[in-house]
Chain A
Amino acid sequence: MDRRNFLKIMGSGVASATAGNLLAPGKSVANEGQTAKEFKGILVDTTRCIGCRRCEKACAEVNGLPIPDISESANENTLKTTRKTSDTQYTTINRYETEKGPIYVPKRCMHCNQPGCVAACLVKAMRKRPSGHVTWDVNCIGCRLCMVSCPFDVPKFEYNKAMPRIQKCNLCYDRYNKGELPGCVEVCPTQALMFGSRRQILEEGKRRIAANPDKYVNHIYGEYEVGGTSHLYLSAVPFPQIGFRTDLGTVPYPEYSTGFLFAVPFVFVLWPIVMLGINRATKKDGEEKHEEKHEEKGKH
């Protein structure tokens, strides 16, 4: 191939590539999750939640799960018990009786900035997307390490299925790629949930606390917990009262193991070499000769 031909091919290639992009603008939207520059998240204002459980229903509809009964009488019964998320319920609302009356708290995957589940996954089935969504893929081998590693006890395993999967909230990754809001945010009748980039929702949370210092406790849960999460919570009462763990620390969970994992090659590979080297270096010349003599003696 001579130079002229090469340029021709290259030129047409570049042109078609740009034209393709121009003709199909929808393509960039479809890849929003891959090209996002900021983590997305949800600000949950527990002072606004009225416990209607519409988000639970919307979540079920979006993800094709059994639809919960959210009529008033059913709600009364359901809210009596504190429910965890399950393989058929990615989000739950619980009622907590606190010093400021009943408070409803929606809970789902926190979408950590540095998720423990992603670090624990052996086959990269759990992934933290550039847009902040923590998603699960079908190449999972079912080891359930993600369940052990999660500080919020979120990933759930389909124990009663022949081909079990790990189930958890994925912050409506598919809807996000289509340019839609997460199902729960879309239906919330009081806007207790606010979707936005983590920077935006953090700013909004701080603004709300500053504007109503009497109403909120001065803490945004998820701002620093386990290195920061994409779900942020505002509360009118101290967080332990509404079922949040405050003993998690601010160190991202994967960082607890990085120190050890870096030490492994050193201990198993380098350490013997170092010891051998020291051994060789400190051996006296005389001893070697002495040993040689012994050997010679043995020969005789």
Chain B
Amino acid sequence: MNRKLMYFLVSIAYLILIAYGLYGVYTVEATLHVKEATLAKPENKIAIAHTEIFGKLERPQVIFNHGKHEEALKTEGCNACHPADGEALKFAFPKNIKKTGKKAVMMAYHDECIDCHKKKNNESKKSGPVTCANCHAKENAALKIKYPAFEFDFSVHDKHVKKLKEKLGKDDCGQCHHTYDINEEDETLALVYEKGTEESCYYCHELGKKRGPELTAITKVAAKKGLSIRKVSHQQCLNCHLKYQEEYLKKGEKEACPTECSKCHAGKYKTVAELEKIPRPDRDQKEKPFINIKDAKLKGVTFDHKYHETSSKTCRSCHHETLKACNECHSLTGKPEGNGINLANAYHQVFSEHSCTGCHNKKKTEKDCAGCHYNIKPMDVETMNPKTDTCGRCHTGQKDKLQGTAISSGAVDKIKKDVEIKVLEKEFEPSKFPHQEIIRKLIKISNDSKMAAYFHGNVQTLCDGCHHQSASGAEAQKDTPPNCKNCHMTAYDRQHLNKTKLLSAYHRQCLGCHEKMELKKGRKCTECHKVKAGGPAEMTQSKNDHVVKQNKNNILNVWKPE
């Protein structure tokens, strides 16, 4: 009896185990591999998903055709869906969300959309869907809609300034620009416009970006009110556009005051060159300020502010937090307003996007410059023993005087014309290196760019690009730059295996430069190395012998250290 009971219990236990295992296998959630597709042309459609509220969606997201609704509700106006705050509209939907919970948001959407659709249906007008799957369509589940950001560049700014002057008869920047007085206790009075304080919207409204203490106080207020750059720019731009749109339509200017999504978010951006001719906003900035810091060790710098204005797309690319001068926040020893970054670093930080040196370094990665500069280490305040000429290039100490003269190509004729490199003589014909031609080309590139012309004083500077160690030690005493083989040995240095030997010095210097400058010439072996007739390279081609005679045709023997 006892034994039977035990068998029974054990088999029951096994059964439970098996059942549990099966349950485990069949209840694993199948992961759907849905391919996410991004709509190339959003065509005024908006994806409504609110994953920040709902998390994982029970039903597929809704792709809302804003353009269609705009057209259908033309007579009723934007007011039909968007709530108004006094005269100005708030571009939010739905109108009545009282609570922020999942259910409340869902119901608000359903009420507003379906009610309106039903209403139109009852009026026997063309209307939208009222059943679930018609909006929550399965095929839209993985669709992604992303509008390219709109760039309010200087050309657009200039257009607005001119149109507004035409309309109002005077300059009134206060139509768009305002400042927030953080010290004002009455919040309704804090938002003011003051002439001469116009700045970019991004400073205060780009939430989530790390800012200095002064600006953080303001962005905190903006964040509290939920005034992100996206929200405020829609509100500011669209309200004004809606106000003036009809007026322009009557005049026949159809493109003026756009309100459609895809009109602004077209994904077309102007380049710096295209914007060069457009006048920059005038805020009484000096054309060529003389930056002379009291108690600084180096002489002052005359800075061509006007030239730099036209060579960048926004003021923000240098003035990262405010349009004040650098030394108002950054002092010689660093102030809390400037995040403790001292002036020397503010101007010279190598990896910053806003410092002089940082921006110049970025410029040096462009293809015309990178050929030489990819090999040259960036200079910063910590560089040991820089050439006196290097610092003096900017720190002239002379007011209103900018250096920078084009390199004269007169001296080039004295330079060696062609150089023949015979290192691989045994195997290949000598490689011809058009020395003079290359220098002429480099001089042309340097003279064509204003920045390069300013910094490259004479031909010697360009020589340093390839003859990179020519200034060091004894070599500096001589007039001619050194040969490569003075330092780079033909064979491996067994003590320092990472030292570059002659063969790789040539290959890396030549190929590196050609690659960085995106030159099509000189990328294939045969362009420089012609196979010598009867040489070892020709002899040892495709012999399928398993035993190779150790003869002098061996490439290893050819390159044996002498």
A249 interface residue per 8 A CB criterion? no
B248 to chain A, nearest CB (A): 45
Say yes or no: A54 contacts B555, CB within 8 Å: yes
Say yes or no: A181 contacts B492, CB within 8 Å: yes
User: Given the complex of chains A and B, what is the CA–CA distance between A57 and B554 in angstroms?
Assistant: 9
Interface residues of A in 178-197 (CB under 8 A from B): 181, 183, 186-191, 194-196
User: Given A72-B524, A204-B498 in contact, is the A60-B556 Cβ separation under 8 Å?
Assistant: no
Q: Which of A23-31, A63-71, A252-260 faces chain B?
A: A63-71
Interface centre among B498, B501, B544 (most CB of A within 10 A): B498
On chain B, the residues within 8 Å of A292 by CB distance are none
Say yes or no: B497 contacts A64, CB within 8 Å: no
Interface size on A, residues (CB 8 A): 31
Say yes or no: A50 contacts B554, CB within 8 Å: no
B545 interface residue per 8 A CB criterion? yes
CB < 8 Å neighbour of B511 from A50, A60, A61: A50
Q: Which of B20-28, B160-168, B235-243, B535-543 faces chain A?
A: B535-543
User: Given A48-B508, A196-B498 in contact, is the A64-B503 Cβ separation under 8 Å?
Assistant: no
Pair count A-B, CB < 8 A: 71
CB < 8 Å neighbour of B525 from A60, A62, A72: A72
Say yes or no: A66 contacts B545, CB within 8 Å: yes
B121 interface residue per 8 A CB criterion? no
Say yes or no: A64 contacts B540, CB within 8 Å: no
CB < 8 Å neighbour of B543 from A48, A52, A66: A66
Say yes or no: A67 contacts B556, CB within 8 Å: no
User: Given A67-B542, A190-B508 in contact, is the A61-B554 Cβ separation under 8 Å?
Assistant: yes
| Nearest CB in chain B to that of A200: its residue | B497
Say yes or no: B508 contacts A187, CB within 8 Å: no
A29 to chain B, nearest CB (A): 13
CB < 8 Å neighbour of A189 from B504, B542, B556: B504
Say yes or no: A189 contacts B507, CB within 8 Å: yes
A58 interface residue per 8 A CB criterion? yes
User: Given the complex of chains A and B, what is the CA–CA distance between A153 and B240 in angstroms?
Assistant: 67
**Contact code string B352-382 (vs A, CB < 8 Å = 1, else 0):** 0000000000000000000000000000000
On chain A, the residues within 8 Å of B543 by CB distance are 66-67
Say yes or no: B548 contacts A61, CB within 8 Å: yes
B109 to chain A, nearest CB (A): 41
**Contact code string A66-102 (vs B, CB < 8 Å = 1, else 0):** 1111011010000000000000000000000000000
A194 to chain B, nearest CB (A): 6
User: Given the complex of chains A and B, what is the CA–CA distance between A65 and B545 in angstroms?
Assistant: 7
On chain A, the residues within 8 Å of B504 by CB distance are 48, 188-191
User: Given the complex of chains A and B, what is the CA–CA distance between A284 and B4 in angstroms?
Assistant: 24
Say yes or no: A61 contacts B498, CB within 8 Å: no
Say yes or no: B511 contacts A190, CB within 8 Å: yes
Interface residues of A in 29-58 (CB under 8 A from B): 48, 50, 52, 54, 57-58
| Nearest CB in chain B to that of A68: its residue | B542
CB < 8 Å neighbour of A191 from B500, B537, B540: B500
B226 to chain A, nearest CB (A): 38
User: Given the complex of chains A and B, what is the CA–CA distance between A58 and B540 in angstroms?
Assistant: 11
Say yes or no: A194 contacts B508, CB within 8 Å: no
B244 interface residue per 8 A CB criterion? no
B369 to chain A, nearest CB (A): 15
On chain B, the residues within 8 Å of A191 by CB distance are 500-501, 503-504, 508
B170 interface residue per 8 A CB criterion? no
| Nearest CB in chain B to that of A186: its residue | B556
B5 interface residue per 8 A CB criterion? no
Say yes or no: B556 contacts A187, CB within 8 Å: yes
CB < 8 Å neighbour of B540 from A67, A187, A194: A67
On chain B, the residues within 8 Å of A61 by CB distance are 548, 554-556
CB < 8 Å neighbour of B547 from A50, A54, A64, A72: A64
On chain B, the residues within 8 Å of A50 by CB distance are 507, 511
User: Given the complex of chains A and B, what is the CA–CA distance between A189 and B501 in angstroms?
Assistant: 9
User: Given the complex of chains A and B, what is the CA–CA distance between A69 and B531 in angstroms?
Assistant: 14
User: Given the complex of chains A and B, what is the CA–CA distance between A160 and B501 in angstroms?
Assistant: 41
B559 interface residue per 8 A CB criterion? yes
| Nearest CB in chain A to that of B377: its residue | A211
User: Given the complex of chains A and B, what is the CA–CA distance between A62 and B531 in angstroms?
Assistant: 23
B526 interface residue per 8 A CB criterion? yes
B450 to chain A, nearest CB (A): 26
On chain B, the residues within 8 Å of A196 by CB distance are 497-498
User: Given A187-B555, A187-B559 in contact, is the A67-B548 Cβ separation under 8 Å?
Assistant: yes
| Nearest CB in chain A to that of B491: its residue | A186
User: Given the complex of chains A and B, what is the CA–CA distance between A204 and B496 in angstroms?
Assistant: 11
Say yes or no: A69 contacts B542, CB within 8 Å: yes
B3 interface residue per 8 A CB criterion? no
B510 to chain A, nearest CB (A): 10
User: Given A54-B555, A183-B556 in contact, is the A64-B546 Cβ separation under 8 Å?
Assistant: yes
Known: A57-B555, A191-B501. 6 other contacts (CB 8 A): A61-B554, A64-B548, A69-B542, A72-B526, A190-B511, A204-B498
Q: List 21 A-B contacts (CB under 8 A).
A: A50-B511, A52-B525, A57-B555, A65-B546, A66-B543, A66-B544, A67-B545, A68-B542, A71-B531, A71-B537, A72-B524, A72-B526, A181-B492, A183-B556, A187-B555, A187-B556, A189-B504, A189-B507, A190-B507, A200-B497, A200-B498
Q: 8 tightest CB-CB pairs across the interface, nearest first? A: A191-B504, A69-B542, A190-B507, A66-B544, A190-B504, A196-B497, A204-B498, A189-B507
